[in-house]
């Protein structure tokens, strides 16, 4: 079977050109602080009871805080016209040489760092 030179390169059912979302401007990820508070669904215990508490051994890690008993605040910060959770930027900032590029404020953003790159979701505007 021969290849058709006019056929688009297929990647996930679309042409590969569709996935080329190279930002024109790369932004430094800002220094942000995050605050943690007790998880309200599990009352800071890190456990959620499947049945009433008097039934022993039927508890599980809280899915909201992943069993830590603490949750990060949900403040948002604008970078390149898009909003991101400050906790997400806090995690990205720990990567060496990290920069974030926004293709469109409502689309995924790209980030790159010394050693790799990735995609990040932005928050919808209210």
> What's residue 113's pLDDT?
93
CA 53 to each of CA 49, 57, 60: distance values in angstroms, whole numbers, following the listed order: 6, 9, 11
Tens of pLDDT along the chain (126 residues)? 444 444 444 434 444 444 556 667 899 999 888 888 889 888 888 887 666 555 555 667 888 888 888 888 888 889 988 888 888 898 899 899 999 988 777 778 889 999 898 888 877 765
Count the Cβ atoms, other than its own, within 10 Å of residue 123: 16
Token output for 118: 């990735």
Find the angle CA(62)-CA(45)-CA(64) to the nearest 5 degrees: 25
Q: What are the backbone dihedrals phi and psi of residue 90, each rounded to the nearest 5 degrees, phi first?
A: -60, -45
Phi/psi at 16 (5° precision): -60, -30
The enclosing H or E element of 90 equals helix 86-93
């Amino acid at each position: 079977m021969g290849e058709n030179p006019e056929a688009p390169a297929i990647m996930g059912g679309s042409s590969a050109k569709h996935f080329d979302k190279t930002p024109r401007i790369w932004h430094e990820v800002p220094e942000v602080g995050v605050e943690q508070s007790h998880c309200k669904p599990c009352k800071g215990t890190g456990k959620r009871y499947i049945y009433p508490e008097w039934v022993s051994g039927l508890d599980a890690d809280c899915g909201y805080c992943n069993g830590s008993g603490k949750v990060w605040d949900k403040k948002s910060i604008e970078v390149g016209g898009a909003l991101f959770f400050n906790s997400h930027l806090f995690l990205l900032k720990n990567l060496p040489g990290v920069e974030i590029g926004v293709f469109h404020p409502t689309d995924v953003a790209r980030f790159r760092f010394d050693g790799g790159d990735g995609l990040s979701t932005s928050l919808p505007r209210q």
